[in-house]
Amino acid sequence: MAKIELQINGKAVSADTTPDLMKGMVIRDMEAQLHAKLQNIICPEHQEEPSVIVNITHNRQIISVGACCKQLTDMTMAALKQQ
Ligand SMILES: [Zn+2]
């Protein structure tokens, strides 16, 4: 399973530790969507899975991908861009 971290304004957040119930639901929903998009993404060469950081700052999404090679980075970005 790909490793996914959500950040809001540079701070890591997770649905389980967010006291705000509405925000927690939004985070859980985003995590589920990201996991669904990335569930089959595995590097064909190294059998590694990507780690993804989605940082939401001022309503802009900045996505950082950690991967074993450029091929997996490209696969991960392409999967994330799918609706
Ligand atoms: Zn690789």
Its sign, for the CA torsion 33, 39, 44, 46, is positive
Q: What is the DSSP string of 40-74?
A: T---TTT----EEEEEEETTEEEEEEE-SSHHHHH
Q: What is the mean pLDDT of residues 7-12?
A: 92
pTM for this model (two decimals): 0.86
Cα of 43 vs centre of ligand 1, distance in Å, is: 5
Cα of 13 vs centre of ligand 1, distance in Å, is: 28
Domain map (residue ranges) of the chain: 3-81
pLDDT per residue as tens digits for the range 24-75? 999 999 999 999 999 999 999 999 999 999 999 998 999 999 999 999 999 9
Cα of 48 vs centre of ligand 1, distance in Å, is: 6
